[in-house]
Amino acid sequence: MKEYVQRCFTACETEVDKDRTEKLLKDVLQARLQDGSAYTIDWSNEPLPEY
């Protein structure tokens, strides 16, 4: 999961992109942690968010 987050932020070109990514990741990761799927997802193959 850590590498996925790093890949997401590395793909950001602007501060606005970083802000959007941070909000999206908080929402996605919180939902995945709550339902338990965060531990079963292959984060290395998870697609990066699209805007």
> Helix/strand/coil (H, E, C) string of the chain?
CHHHHHHHHHCCCCHHHHHHHHHHHHHHHHHHHHHCHHHCCCHHHCCCCCC
- Tens-place pLDDT, residues 16-50: 999 999 999 999 999 999 999 999 999 999 999 88
Q: Where are the domains of the chain?
A: 2-45
Q: Given this model, what pLDDT does residue 49 score? A: 85
Q: Given this model, what pLDDT does residue 44 score? A: 95
Q: Given this model, what pLDDT does residue 16 score? A: 97
Q: Who has greater pLDDT, 36 or 51?
A: 36
| pTM as predicted | 0.83
